[in-house]
Structure 1
Amino acid sequence: MSGEASALRFALRRLRRGWRSGELLILLLALLIAVSASGTVRLFAERVRLALNEGSSEALGADLVISSNRPLPEHLRESARAAQLRSAEVLQLSSVVFAAEVSSLASIKAVSADYPLRGTLRLAALPYAPAQDAKGPPQGAAYVDAKLWQDLQLQAGGEVAVGELKLRVAGVIENEPDRGNGFSDLAPRLMMNRADLDASGLLGPGSRADYRLYLAGAREAIARLVPAQPEHGLRYTQPQDARRELRGVVQRAGQLLDLAVLAAMLLAAAAVAQAARQYGEKQREEIALLKCLGASRAFITRALLLQLLLLGLAAGACGALLAAAGQSALAALLQSSLQLALPPVSLQPLLGAVALGLLMLLGFAAPPLLSARNTPVLRVLQRAAESPGAQRLSLLLALATAALLLWLATGDAQLALRVALGTALTLGVLALLAWLLVRALQPLRRGGRRGFALRFGLANLARRRGATVAQATGLGIGLLALLLVSVVREDLLDSWRNKLPADAPNQFLINIQPEQREALQAFFASHGLGTVKLWPMARGRLVALNGKPVDVESFDDPQTRAWINREFNLSWTDVIGSDNVVTQGQWWGEAGRGQAWLSAEEYAIERLHLKLGDTLTLDFSGETQTFTVHNFRKVDWGSFKPNFFLLAPEDAVGEAVPRQYIASFYLPAARRALLRELVAQFPNISVLDIDAALRQVRGLITQVLRALEFVLLFTLASGLALLLAAVEATRGQRQRETALLRTLGASRVQILAALMAEYALLGLLAGAVAAIAAQSLAWLLAVQLLDIPYGPRPLLWLLGMLAGALLVMALGWLSLRGSLRTAPRQVLAG
């Protein structure tokens, strides 16, 4: 017990001495940033991700929708009540609706009073008039959309007959949160109270209704209700399965937040490793002296481990407090700027951050520190470099720890492996670039006309080529973080925001007949809207796959069964849209004109398990035609442009096949009354207003961007810590060089100029390396993640080199300013 007490006393004394000497302060600072950054980022990212997922529930009207074409089992409602979840019932079916002598086939939606549980139902008094928030219709009342209002020639306060029931029209639906924006649900809408449906007689024998239970509440309770294998006939839909344009935004948001978390953690870990290596080197003389005084290896091991444990606990506690305080400030700021309600704070991410901090110490700081135990006693008399074997062991342990950190942070071994390989590749490329640049600088050191400072700096860089490459790589990583933060925030995220411009199409016209095309274009031209592009479309039902007849019973997957039960929308074109990318096969162009080929989108491929060369037979209202799958496409559904699961070449669809056209255009809010004139002149055309959906997507993107700006601040802090640690790593060596130069007669001004020249050259090297890497990584993020174009940015290279030179010079001056005033004898004696 006395041995442990002695080791503890020694560890405490050594920690107190470390504050005065300064090297321990750097390690504590790096670890503190690691824990606070990791804790804040993990906690903040987790809360934002949950909030974004809850925000996407607005597109579904609930957190979970359970649906079936039969009445839902009562045990589902009992489970929901037991889990204290809010619920709403929705039934949907088709029926003819009458107003006086006028009738129209409509999609009837019967909802309970609490509908919707998420999102907002908005009503107007008249079609395309100002709207306000509302709940489901009361008993005896109905809401209709603008199309049904037009078809039934309704007036304010009018009545409609639904089955055996008459209902008062109480408003026009401007936005229905869970109504899809695709082209499959185009029937005019009537919404009524669920309690009125039984009295209407619409649920008699032979009626086909879709029964839905909407649920909202605690995410844990919702997750417990979703079975691994649903009962036959039941479909479970969650927010991530709702509208494609919103799902893409949320998915990319999660990926960006994950990347920001991993970047902050890896940079913080690199800073800890750099600072720990310097601290371990500082310990060697003292350990050699302890050995001379008779200290055992076991005592030294206990003392070193206790130093790390005390340091880790202190940094972990302070870092957790900083993370909690920072999170509170961020939450307050976020709620005021984004109007986003964050879930309650959980302590688990903070405890996880402290554990990760201790793991960083174990993997990055312990190996170089414990390797100091092997310092020979002769170290007291002469310096001996660390053995290559110990260096390799420290590197292997650091790599293993980094892989473990990535796995713990992501919970996904495959993603952790990918990030680890990408990080290793980035480090390798940075080191290679640094080596090439150092080789390119070698000829410049020759020549007598250059001043002493520049010659000294070039000579130092060339003489210590290996150390220069290592330091330039370390500095390059730190500068890479700074540059990448700037690029991501100012360039990539702005491009992503602008991907959905303010004048993106917000109105779709459906059911345009071929003979109406010229009159419709004339209407647009007369109102100053220019020429509107028209897409041809035919609606067909899949009846055979590879020559074998298919129907709903041919598929087991509930989503496929629901999808196959509807008609497919097929269009034809020779020119592929900018929001479509061919993933397999070749696009046909004009050479495909008249060929019975198909281009299938990813969703159709997944649902039907298609392969290139498969054949699909479609029935277009009695006209059947067989097509061969020629290529596969990936569609960016977030573009809000007309897109189709299936495309064919021009002239591939027979003339006998019934067809219609669709169009999209942008209409400012001030001109919405123009839609009333349009449907009055073309009563058969359906108007699909997606302005609310566009606002929702833009709001989600704004939330993501501002959340990322906060997260990137901690990545920036980690990068700065790494820069400081990289500069401090060579402070002892430069102090001795400074003392030697002063002993040989060099003045302080000359030494300072020489050191600043060396730091400037080193910063230029690191900045060039970081700029090249930042440009490459930005291109990768743009193309692979955000799906936006990205070209060269020459200004980034200049900015990187200039920022590198200035930052490294500033940090170098702060590190060595005391050494220039210290007597050479004192430095050389130490």
Structure 2
Amino acid sequence: MARPASSAGVMTALRFAWRRLRRGWRSGELLILALALVVSVAAASAVGLFGDRVRRAVQTQSGDAIGADALISSREALPAALLEQLAALPLRRAAVSELASVVLSGEDTLLVSVKAAESGYPLRGALRVADQPYGTARERRDRPPSGEAWADLRVWQELRLQPGATIQLGQSSFRVSGVIEYEPDRGSGFTDLAPRVLIGAEDLPATGLVSVGSRVQYTQLLAGEPGDLAKAEALPLPQGARYLKPDTARPEVGRALSRAGQFLDIAVLAAILLAAAAVALSARQHGQAQRDEVALLKCLGASSRLIGITLLLQLLLLGLIAGIVGAAIGYAGQAVLAVLIGQLVDTPLPPPSIQPLLTAGALELMLLLGFALPPVLQARKVAPIRVFQRDDGNTGGALIAGVAVAATVGLLWWQAGDARLALWVLGGTLATCAVLALFALLLVAVLTPLRRAGHTALRFGLGNVARRRGASVAQVVALGVALLALLLLAVVQNDLLDAWKQRIPKDAPNQFLINIQPAQVAPLQAFFARNGIAAPPTWPMARGRLIAVDGKAVTAESFDDPETRRWINREFNMSWIDRFGDDNELIEGRYWAPESKGVPELSVDDYVVERLKVGIGSKLTLAIADREVEMTITSIRKVKWESFKPNFFLVTQPGVLDDASGTVQYLTAFHLPRERRAVLRELIGEFPNVTAIDIEATMNQVRGIVDRIVGAVQFLFAFALAAGACVLLAAIESTRAERVRETALLRTLGARRRTIALGLVTEYAVLGLLAGLVAAAAAQITALVLARQVFDLPYQASPLLWLLGGGGGALLVVALGWWSLRRVLDTPPRVVLAGGR
């Protein structure tokens, strides 16, 4: 047979592939593989489309944390050229200026932080303003009218203002018309917050506060589409200016968004593993089904090249059809999810983009090439002699397994974007496969002598497991991987997500009191006792400026990193305590011993190590009050700042700074239910110098992000759960043809339908039990590793998971097996006699 020209050969193969594909649909040979591809593309499309929309919505709503999607901040007025470039972009903008000044009310004065905002401020989120202290706050999406000012509660308290009072800022007077309860872009450093006064930007020049030498922070708030924001970020900034987004401007929000992204990645990775398992199982079955036809074609003179091209084109055609159907289902699925999740996301979800669909298409191509193509192409190596005898020959199992592993690594790495997360998930999966294979082999060895004893149905079921050693091992591994994914989803959803939500407990401190004088500590504790509030602990605090590291004098100019310069160009708040709470994790060094009181040892947060490039044994010299103190770093801590408990970057032990005369103050934090907010009015009346800071709004902001992501992840996991059920069904369907032949043969030999049914139930129960128990163990271990190494969350093993894995796995596999093979039991003997499958 002459070799056809290249183009003619491809066209011939294409026509042949199309005919075989049409016959395959009628005969059902390709139905399982097509279903697996449709499920994989639908899962990837739905997860990708919905996940992309949620990410963009959360990023948009996280702009509430800074009052915008992004901002440009500088100590100098932004140049006109930069403002013109920003004006040329389709972005909403609002300029904000902040500076410190003294406000006067009658004979009283107070140092405040003045914010002057343009119309439209804030661009994201809303202010909450009340008419009077402790009154009902309303949302406001603009700054005060000209000639008016809004002030926070501390200004009202310390100046003893009444509604409608007048205050003086510089050369201008303002009528105070509101109490600021919440600012979306208020910083979270409670010890550095000055009392706030908000005015309109047009009123600032008349005050005369901005002059040569004034220290003003200029901020340009930006809001718009991601592409336009990216163009703004790419603009060259003058020295000292910074472009900030919510995750960099607000660390607590950034940590919440980062954790949210990790949970979404887990959902996507689970869906990918399930899709890969389904395609691999279905492709193996399809490859086995091709061997008889390939052998016959070779007998008729077809070349291996033509057969290979035909099989490849058939897969690509199948992939194209399945991809279109799967993308349509995925698009519809994400729309349903968007409707269901709408009540959880305050910001409307943006419309779907095309990128996730392209990504799903690329995922399907990788699945085809990595999992489906190798076993199908191996079929073209079958010798023509298979027409006369069933000899599989070289199946290329090692090559197929190697390609599949490489494809899995590529898929996980590409999708996760986090090498460590991908490796942990992949490592847990491979370890599970190895353990499942080992236990399956041991099971076969144990069951071999048992298949000759007991009830006929029991012998039949156990005999099937023992007789088909390779098939049993492969099926246990496949079932185990699917059950692992499903159990892992349950663990992540029920345990890890709950642990994440508990990071901010309901009774977390929401009120901070600062400027407590030493003589007021005992009376303040008595005040709490009188009002039925558990007396909270108090922390001493002194302020110091870093002047030397390891004996070498340092200033802000000693560091190249702009963030370090900004951070070091201010005084540090220090404290001294006997021991640390559970919101501080020791990661290096040692805490001080009780007998070493007074030794200048220092414990630092890991952020200090990152910024100053110091470590255990480094010496920091700080100017505190009228003296300099050199302290040696003996421990490095990781502070859980999201606990909202008082914490400090620098902590020493008692006896080192106790005599810092005139500079020691105390602070405390406690939880106050909203219905008891009136207690604050009484507290401030009794201790007028004490400043109360309400951080309930900031806590609710982080809780809101957590709740929205938990809801989104739960819906994504529900979709992945359906994909996992398809994997189990594919694993069972992979032996359907063999079951048909076996059942018909047994019926020919006189076996009763009930005996065959009990045997199949026994076989599937044993396989499901084994796969479920090992998958439960793997899920526990993988969840523990994810909790400790990736999410930094507490996790405790659940014995219920073993019952769910073992019992649930057995019941699920039996149910799906019975649903798949119930008609096989009615296969008449003539099917075998006629040579059918």
Which AA in structure 2 matches 1:525?
A
Q: Does 1:32 align with 2:38?
A: yes
Identity of matched residues, %: 51
Q: Does 1:119 align with 2:122?
A: no
RMSD (Å) for aligned C-alpha atoms: 2.1
Match of 1:791 among 774, 785, 796: 796
The structural deviation recorded for 1:46 is 1.4
Size of the aligned set, in residue pairs, is 826
* 1:147-205, Cα deviation, whole Å (9 max, x unpaired): 11111111110000111111111111100111112134232111122221111111123
The structural deviation recorded for 1:230 is 4.5
CA distance in 2, matches of 1:183, 1:569: 11
The change in CA–CA distance for 1:586 and 1:387 in structure 2 (over 3 A counts) is farther
2:3 alignment counterpart: none
The structural deviation recorded for 1:94 is 1.2
For residues 149-548 of structure 1, the aligned pairs below 5 Å read 149-227=156-234, 230-387=237-394, 390-410=396-416, 412=417, 415-416=418-419, 419-420=422-423, 422-436=425-439, 438-439=441-442, 442-443=445-446, 446=449, 450-548=454-552
The structural deviation recorded for 1:559 is 1.7
The structural deviation recorded for 1:424 is 4.5
CA distance in 2, matches of 1:691, 1:416: 36
2:720 alignment counterpart: 715
Q: Please give the TM-score of this superposition, normalised by the length of structure 1.
A: 0.96
Q: Does 1:640 align with 2:644?
A: yes
- 5+ residue gaps, structure 2, are 1-6
Match of 1:598 among 594, 597, 602: 602
2:4 alignment counterpart: none
On the 8 A contact 2:37/2:275 being kept in 1, the answer is yes
The structural deviation recorded for 1:459 is 3.4
The change in CA–CA distance for 1:418 and 1:175 in structure 2 (over 3 A counts) is closer
What secondary structure does 2:279 align onto? helix
On the 8 A contact 1:38/1:265 being kept in 2, the answer is yes
The structural deviation recorded for 1:449 is 6.2
The structural deviation recorded for 1:616 is 1.0
On the 8 A contact 2:440/2:472 being kept in 1, the answer is no
Q: Does 1:826 align with 2:831?
A: yes
CA distance in 2, matches of 1:60, 1:46: 22
Match of 1:729 among 730, 734, 738: 734
CA distance in 2, matches of 1:556, 1:715: 47
What secondary structure does 2:192 align onto? coil
The structural deviation recorded for 1:252 is 0.5
For residues 2-17 of structure 1, the aligned pairs below 5 Å read 3-17=9-23
The structural deviation recorded for 1:279 is 0.3
On the 8 A contact 1:545/1:617 being kept in 2, the answer is yes
- 5+ residue gaps, structure 1, are none
CA distance in 1, matches of 2:248, 2:342: 26
CA distance in 2, matches of 1:551, 1:45: 45
Which AA in structure 1 matches 2:797?
P
Q: Does 1:772 align with 2:777?
A: yes
Of 351-360 and 372-381, deviating more is 351-360
The structural deviation recorded for 1:420 is 4.8
Of 595-604 and 429-438, deviating more is 429-438
Of 655-664 and 281-290, deviating more is 655-664
CA distance in 2, matches of 1:592, 1:445: 68
Which AA in structure 2 matches 1:720?
A
The structural deviation recorded for 1:438 is 4.8
Which AA in structure 2 matches 1:724?
L
On the 8 A contact 1:110/1:192 being kept in 2, the answer is yes
1:759 alignment counterpart: 764
CA distance in 2, matches of 1:58, 1:242: 11
Match of 1:75 among 76, 81, 86: 81
Q: Please give the TM-score of this superposition, normalised by the length of structure 2.
A: 0.95
CA distance in 2, matches of 1:430, 1:305: 29
Q: Does 1:103 align with 2:109?
A: yes
CA distance in 1, matches of 2:744, 2:108: 100
The structural deviation recorded for 1:445 is 5.6
CA distance in 1, matches of 2:194, 2:40: 56
2:48 alignment counterpart: 42
What secondary structure does 1:45 align onto? helix
The change in CA–CA distance for 1:592 and 1:378 in structure 2 (over 3 A counts) is farther
CA distance in 2, matches of 1:794, 1:763: 18
The change in CA–CA distance for 1:128 and 1:786 in structure 2 (over 3 A counts) is farther
What secondary structure does 2:161 align onto? coil
The change in CA–CA distance for 1:666 and 1:234 in structure 2 (over 3 A counts) is same
The structural deviation recorded for 1:101 is 0.9
On the 8 A contact 1:430/1:773 being kept in 2, the answer is no
* 1:369-399, Cα deviation, whole Å (9 max, x unpaired): 11111111111111123515x2222222223
CA distance in 2, matches of 1:475, 1:563: 54
CA distance in 2, matches of 1:77, 1:386: 73
The structural deviation recorded for 1:744 is 3.6
2:592 alignment counterpart: 588
Which AA in structure 1 matches 2:473?
V
Of 622-631 and 442-451, deviating more is 442-451
On the 8 A contact 2:576/2:651 being kept in 1, the answer is yes
On the 8 A contact 1:579/1:636 being kept in 2, the answer is yes
Q: Does 1:133 align with 2:139?
A: yes
CA distance in 1, matches of 2:231, 2:593: 50
Match of 1:574 among 571, 574, 578: 578
On the 8 A contact 2:444/2:469 being kept in 1, the answer is no
On the 8 A contact 2:740/2:827 being kept in 1, the answer is no
The change in CA–CA distance for 1:16 and 1:653 in structure 2 (over 3 A counts) is same
1:558 alignment counterpart: 562
CA distance in 1, matches of 2:311, 2:116: 71
Of 325-334 and 33-42, deviating more is 325-334
CA distance in 1, matches of 2:666, 2:728: 60
Of 109-118 and 165-174, deviating more is 109-118
The change in CA–CA distance for 1:566 and 1:700 in structure 2 (over 3 A counts) is same
Of 434-443 and 637-646, deviating more is 434-443
Q: Does 1:88 align with 2:94?
A: yes
Match of 1:621 among 618, 625, 640: 625
The structural deviation recorded for 1:3 is 4.6
CA distance in 2, matches of 1:437, 1:373: 30
The structural deviation recorded for 1:787 is 3.0
Q: Does 1:63 align with 2:66?
A: no
CA distance in 2, matches of 1:160, 1:356: 64
The change in CA–CA distance for 1:680 and 1:627 in structure 2 (over 3 A counts) is same
What secondary structure does 1:205 align onto? coil
For residues 738-757 of structure 1, the aligned pairs below 5 Å read 738-757=743-762
CA distance in 2, matches of 1:383, 1:52: 58
Q: Does 1:660 align with 2:665?
A: yes
Of 342-351 and 735-744, deviating more is 735-744
The structural deviation recorded for 1:734 is 3.2
